[in-house]
Every structure is written in C-alpha cells, then in structure tokens.
Amino acid sequence: GENVEQHPSTLSVQEGDSAVIKCTYSDSASNYFPWYKQELGKRPQLIIDIRSNVGEKKDQRIAVTLNKTAKHFSLHITETQPEDSAVYFCAASFTGGGNKLTFGTGTQLKVEL
Amino acid sequence: DTAVSQTPKYLVTQMGNDKSIKCEQNLGHDTMYWYKQDSKKFLKIMFSYNNKELIINETVPNRFSPKSPDKAHLNLHINSLELGDSAVYFCASSQGVAEGFFGQGTRLTVV
C-alpha cells in the first residue's frame, strides 16, 4: 500500500520567513496530493491540493510543488504569520484506490513573533 | 450549514462498554470515511464507504463496526471498549478522489 513520509516533524520560523514542508510517497499510481492544516482542537482543513498532471500550484502565500519522478511534493508558505501556526499534513491518494487518503505524520509549524 | 457533522463531540466511557458515533454529510458526496487520530496526531484511515458499500477496511479490530444506512450517513459502533481506543475519531466525506471534508471530531476517552 501507499506510504507517505513527511519532514520535518517540527518547524519553527520567525514571522515573515518562509516555511517548507516536504513529503515523499511510495506508490507511483498516486495522483492526488492534498495538504491539510489542523489547528489545535479543530478538524483538518484543506489548504491546497495538486494533481499529478500539474507540477506547481499557488494560492496567495501558499504553493505546492510536485516531482512525480522523484515522488516528492512540498508545501511552501511565504511571509509566515502567527496564524499559520498549526499542524500540517500532506496526503496522497489515487483513482481506483477507494479514494483513500494516506496521510503523512504531520509537521508542527510554529511561527514566532 | 455544517457540511460534515458528527456526534457526540466528546465521549467518556468505561472499559468494556459499547458506544456509537454518528456522522452525516449534506454535501451529496458518494464516499464517506472514518479516520482515527491518536495522541501523536497520526491520522489513519479505518473504513471507507462508497454509496453505502464498504470499500476499505484497514486493519481494525472487529470490535469496530461501521454502518451506512444511506450515502449521507456513516456511523461507527465500538464494542467492548479498551483503553487503547482513546483517540479522536474523524468522519470525512469526498466526491471521488478529491478534497476530503472532515467533521469536527469525536474525542473518545476510555477510563
């Protein structure tokens, strides 16, 4: 089955700096890669996603890149703000896999003033 | 309007008891899921239903039994609760391979 590894497990940045979280996946059939943000005590919420026919996608301060050959995808947050502090999860799934999302282990991002 | 709602939000119960968690989605999605999030925040899929049919059943003890009366509802019944079952359980739904919308979670504490 699919296995998703995520690094780092914790990340501390100064406000205004950039943050990068990296994930690798094992199943080359995976074709959908969402990123979720989970604030303390809340539900995971989608912040951005990318499909395998696209190499990069941006939404304001957030971008995701995908390297299918290397089976890597990354989340980039620029101009970080204190409200970006949360746990971020990457995930992977593929058509025909029962729509199952396999999650990475999460990254605790702390944005310090 | 809440897209995916699950009840109860908190559940404290003794070992050996049987409990149920209910989930409903009003998004018209065809697939619903149960995820377990443990104390280390790992999110792991337990079950997936597509149009009331079970399509994913991960390695979950058979004390856990999902039931989907219709495609908008997916309930989770747990028999003979154990201390290790303590976790946050999330229901979610999606339309095919797409964004999963999560419920607010049920924090289960077994004492």
Q: For chain B, 111 residues long, give each residue's pLDDT as a single digit of tens.
A: 679 999 999 999 999 999 999 999 999 999 999 999 998 889 999 999 988 888 888 878 999 999 999 999 999 999 999 999 999 999 999 987 778 899 999 999 999
Chain B residue numbers with beta carbons less than 8 Å from the beta carbon of A102 are 45
How much is the mean pLDDT over chain A? 94
Name the most confidently modeled range: A69-73, A99-103, B2-6, B53-57.
Answer: A69-73
Contact B99 A34 (CB under 8 A): yes
* CA–CA min distance A51, chain B (Å): 9
Interface of B with A (CB under 8 A): 31, 33, 40-45, 48, 50, 55-56, 90, 94, 96-105
Q: Give one word for A26, left, alpha or beta, with left for phi > 0 and alpha for psi -120 to 50.
A: alpha
- Which of A49, A89, A98 is facing B99, going by the closest CB pair? A49
Lowest mean pLDDT segment, chosen from A33-37, A78-82, B36-40, B98-102? B98-102
Residue A97 has pLDDT above 80, yes or no: no
- Note whether A87 contacts B41, CB cutoff 8 Å: yes
Q: Which of B1, B82, B91, B83 is nearest to B37 (CA)?
A: B91
Whether the CB-CB separation of B35 and B48 falls below 8 Å is answered with no
- Residue A84 tokens read as 């970006």
Higher pLDDT, A111 or A2: A111
Nearest residue of B to residue A51, measured between CA atoms: B98
Question: Is the previous residue joined to B61 through a cis bond, with omega within 30 degrees of 0?
Answer: no
Please give, one letter per residue, the 3-state secondary structure of A82-108: HHHCEEEEEEEECCCCCCCCEECCCEE
Residue B1, pLDDT score: 66
Q: What is the pLDDT of residue B44?
A: 92
Cα separation values, A107 from A36, A69, A100, B83, Å: 10, 24, 21, 27
Chain A: give the shortest CA distance to residue B81, in Å.
23
Question: Minimal Cα–Cα distance from B82 to chain A, Å?
Answer: 23
The secondary structure of residue A53, as a DSSP letter, is T
Strand, coil or helix: what is B97? coil
**Residue A60 scores a pLDDT above 90:** yes
User: Is B94 in Cβ contact with A99 (below 8 Å)?
Assistant: yes
User: In this structure, what are the phi and psi dihedrals at residue A91, rounded to the nearest 5 degrees?
Assistant: -155, 165
* Rounded Cα distance, A60 and B42, in Å: 28
Quick check: A9 contacting B, CB < 8 Å?
no
Contacts of B105 in chain A (CB under 8 A): 43
* Phi, psi values for residue A104, rounded to 5°: -75, 175
More confident residue, A35 or A96: A35
Q: Is A95 on the interface with B (CB under 8 A)?
A: yes
